[in-house]
A and B are shown apart, each in its own frame.
Chain A
Amino acid sequence: MSDNRLSVFKTYKLYVGGKFPRSESGRVYEVTDSKGKWLANAPQSSRKDARDAVVAARKAFGGWSGATAYNRGQVLYRVAEMLEGRKDQFVREVADAEGLSKSKAAAVVDAAIDRWVWYAGWTDKIGQVVGGANPVAGPFFNLSTPEPTGVVAVLAPQESSFLGLVSVIAPVIATGNTAVVIASADSPLPALSLGEVLATSDLPGGVVNVLSGRTAEIATPLASHQDVNAIDLTGADTGLAKELEIAAADNLKRVLRPQPVDGAADWTADPGTHRLTAFLETKTVWHPTGALGVSGSSY
């Protein structure tokens, strides 16, 4: 290929309801690399975009939460497969976004792909780990089962634009929640590209919705939205996190506060299960067992 060929730029767009809209506001903002060089004009999402994304996420919740855990695992694994094939693109975008060398960026992308694989395996295991039969003192079969909380607003970490992003999205949807994700404000491009991967990974439209823009502008209406069930504040600074937590109290959203680890963010550490359990409800069902009496004893 000749060096003087004019390359084709990509218009980065939001990912909402399985489609790739621009911001309804028509606004964009300049995204630069770590040295200040212009990379792209990203959509600057509005409150209306946030609300549209909630509608899409709510619409997708029934189907996704009702899918079998096995199926969700397959879909998450498919995301890893799709990413593997587009690794070069993400290495380039992460290197630009985070100012990393090519090899360091490659390690980050590898870890992100592996994270999808890790959570793909969790979908059909977490239920047994955190649920189970409870030995009540009476003739009842009593079973506790985890269920997804619903629509989760996710403030992706500001620094780790891709590994951190994947680390907060995957656990939310692994258990059957749907997500409205606010990408890193300064480095949204890997997140917007991830939307393209998700769209081709058999993930139903609306399960993950990706918005770029000013974090506070998008997060504020989400935190007070009455049809959002939970909020992950990872990408919020201390002041914003407090403000959003107060707004979230209005309909008692489940709140995952920024964790001490998130700041310096060693996103390569073993993620554990807390990001899965933070967005799970426990349902306990009591069933009478009756009794067969002495003659019915199996001994």
Chain B
Amino acid sequence: MASAFEYAPAPESRAVVDIAPSYGLFIDGEFAEAADGKVFKTVSPSTEEVLSEVAQAGAADVDRAVKAARRAFEKWSALPGSERAKYLFRIARIIQERSRELAVLETLDNGKPIRETRDADLPLVAAHFFYYAGWADKLDHAGYGPNPAPLGVAGQVIPWNFPLLMLAWKIAPALATGNTVVLKPAETTPLSALFFADICRQAGLPKGVVNILPGYGDAGAALVEHEDVNKVAFTGSTAVGKAIARQVAGTDKKVTLELGGKGANIVFDDAPIDQAVEGIVTGIFFNQGQVCCAGSRLLVQESVQDELLDALKRRLTTLRLGDPLDKNTDIGAINSAEQLARITALTETGEAEGAERWSAPCELPSAGYWFAPTLFTNVTQAHTIARDEIFGPVLSVLSFRTPDEAVAKANNSQYGLSAGIWTEKGSRILAVANKLRAGVVWANTFNKFDPTSPFGGYKESGFGREGGRHGLEAYLDVR
């Protein structure tokens, strides 16, 4: 589409990051090749350029990493909390120092706009380490009884949508409470975790306390199954989450799962429309909609539906899709060809089932994986696109007449991770928030995160909380 005015390209410099042609697994403080010598390539989703070749962990590597973490556990857990705290403070500071480098790296490997990695991911990553660093010597006062014990070795599997932020959510509370970790980053986004390994070395973290195993689902499954793992923490799809819940049945492993969502973003007729439009855009187009807590279902009160949709479409035509490294880019690339295929298939299902599709008229680059911001109207609660998590920049619009109907529709989901409420009326916010079966509710805002604020779902969005004092429980032997 022809913009009202063109922006000159404003790319962030790639020179701040030096990506090596190959990386190993990070086990016991050393980079090493996989036992079976396997490697895989990680590409930049916006260009399909191969960024690096990374060692691919298998079951033997998982075993080696868990053993290293076990050896490190005794000393690490026996350290005074104040000493563990200082390591974490060091890590937080080094992340701040290297944040531009890491932001560019994350944008290259993940495909999300630099504006997001620079202004959201990285500040939150550093803040998360800083926050949990402060807990390490205060665990006696956290409300989990005197001298709460760590669990041991934590096996952690994270997704590709916020690679470094999910790492921070997993590693910071685990280390603060005295556990050691083996973490598997997603196969499409291994690089920032490997850079983090280097940060651990710079911080002088004892060997084996953090082990990073890039790899595929088989490595994740081997980690979850390993008999010497005491704690499993997983963020990802509900299907895999259920498989993990079955795998750990009958063991002593403690589990927390942060899974899918189909968040309802509820707009009442008295909401400030322009503000709500910005909130809807943030809710579903932030990170190309590849967010578990995305506001992927818009529930709009019937009397303002037309006005709101007009304003929303107008706004969507101004979103800039393209080079993620460009500082003016709003919508970056979809993370992988596989994910793009899933989004494409689900939107085709949406059309086939009779929903009406509208996509922002923007030009998609010829290389890389791209999907234009899209919304569906004429959506019913029975439609696949109103029930299944799409994990892409696709919004399903439903309407309602009364607050009761809004609540009933919002709660009509197997998921219960997030929800949004837009209204000028304070009492309505409180009444509706009270009835929503969701772990995080945003009133007149959306997709806000903070290390002090517990995050996690109801129902099939998983269990356990990350963030805040609540987040400590996942890594403590609390009965």
Most buried by A among B246, B414, B439, B453: B453
Question: Which of B178-186, B315-323, B454-462 has 4 or more CB atoms under 8 Å from chain A?
Answer: B454-462
- Which secondary structure characterizes the binding site on chain A? mixed
Question: Which of B151-159, B211-219, B302-310, B441-449 has 4 or more CB atoms under 8 Å from chain A?
Answer: B441-449
Closest beta carbon of chain A to B438's beta carbon, Å: 7
Most buried by A among B448, B462, B479: B479
Residues of A within 8 A of B441 (CB): 283-286
Residue in contact with A282 in the complex, picked from B249, B445, B456, CB distance below 8 Å: B456
| B146 CB–A CB distance under 8 Å | no
Whether the pair B462, A252 counts as a contact (CB closer than 8 A) is yes
Whether the pair A242, B250 counts as a contact (CB closer than 8 A) is yes
Closest beta carbon of chain B to A291's beta carbon, Å: 14
| B359 CB–A CB distance under 8 Å | no
Contact with A along B250-271 (1 / 0, CB 8 A): 1000000101000000000000
Q: A286 CA to B440 CA in the complex, in Å?
A: 8
Whether the pair B245, A287 counts as a contact (CB closer than 8 A) is no
Whether the pair B143, A130 counts as a contact (CB closer than 8 A) is yes
Residues of B within 8 A of A261 (CB): 479
Question: Smallest CB-CB separation from B442: which chain A residue?
Answer: A286
Contact with A along B218-250 (1 / 0, CB 8 A): 000000000000000000001001110110011
Size category of the B interface is 35 or more
Given A144-B468, A252-B241, the answer on whether A134 and B450 have CB atoms closer than 8 Å is: yes
| A85 CB–B CB distance under 8 Å | no
Residues of B within 8 A of A259 (CB): 479
User: B55-87: which residues lie under 8 A (CB-CB) from chain A?
Assistant: none
Residues of A within 8 A of B444 (CB): 287-288
| A6 CB–B CB distance under 8 Å | no
Residue in contact with B257 in the complex, picked from A132, A248, A252, CB distance below 8 Å: A252
Residue in contact with A246 in the complex, picked from B246, B438, B439, CB distance below 8 Å: B246
Q: A293 CA to B345 CA in the complex, in Å?
A: 49
Residue in contact with B443 in the complex, picked from A238, A250, A274, A286, CB distance below 8 Å: A286
In the complex, number of A-B residue pairs with CB atoms less than 8 Å apart: 109
Q: A229 CA to B416 CA in the complex, in Å?
A: 12
Given A283-B441, A284-B454, A288-B444, the answer on whether A251 and B460 have CB atoms closer than 8 Å is: yes
| B127 CB–A CB distance under 8 Å | yes
Given A144-B470, A283-B438, A286-B442, the answer on whether A252 and B452 have CB atoms closer than 8 Å is: no
| B51 CB–A CB distance under 8 Å | no
| A201 CB–B CB distance under 8 Å | no
Given A238-B250, A245-B249, the answer on whether A281 and B450 have CB atoms closer than 8 Å is: no
Whether the pair B249, A144 counts as a contact (CB closer than 8 A) is no
Closest beta carbon of chain B to A231's beta carbon, Å: 11
Whether the pair B440, A249 counts as a contact (CB closer than 8 A) is no
| A107 CB–B CB distance under 8 Å | no
Whether the pair A142, B479 counts as a contact (CB closer than 8 A) is no
Whether the pair A138, B450 counts as a contact (CB closer than 8 A) is yes
| B429 CB–A CB distance under 8 Å | yes
Given A144-B470, A286-B445, the answer on whether A134 and B458 have CB atoms closer than 8 Å is: no
Whether the pair B249, A284 counts as a contact (CB closer than 8 A) is no
| A135 CB–B CB distance under 8 Å | yes
Question: Smallest CB-CB separation from B244: which chain A residue?
Answer: A249
| A53 CB–B CB distance under 8 Å | no
Q: A134 CA to B465 CA in the complex, in Å?
A: 14
| B478 CB–A CB distance under 8 Å | yes
| B433 CB–A CB distance under 8 Å | yes
Given A249-B249, A274-B478, the answer on whether A137 and B450 have CB atoms closer than 8 Å is: yes
Whether the pair A140, B459 counts as a contact (CB closer than 8 A) is no
Closest beta carbon of chain B to A171's beta carbon, Å: 13
Residues of B within 8 A of A242 (CB): 249-250
Closest beta carbon of chain B to A40's beta carbon, Å: 35
Closest beta carbon of chain B to A252's beta carbon, Å: 5
Whether the pair A252, B245 counts as a contact (CB closer than 8 A) is yes
Residues of A within 8 A of B145 (CB): 272
A-B contact pairs, 9 of them (CB 8 A): A132-B469, A136-B453, A138-B448, A138-B450, A144-B468, A149-B458, A246-B249, A249-B249, A288-B444
Known interface pairs A130-B470, A136-B452, A251-B414; 12 further A-B residue pairs with C-beta atoms within 8 A, sorted by A's residue number: A134-B453, A134-B468, A135-B452, A229-B459, A238-B250, A242-B249, A249-B246, A251-B459, A261-B479, A281-B458, A285-B442, A287-B444
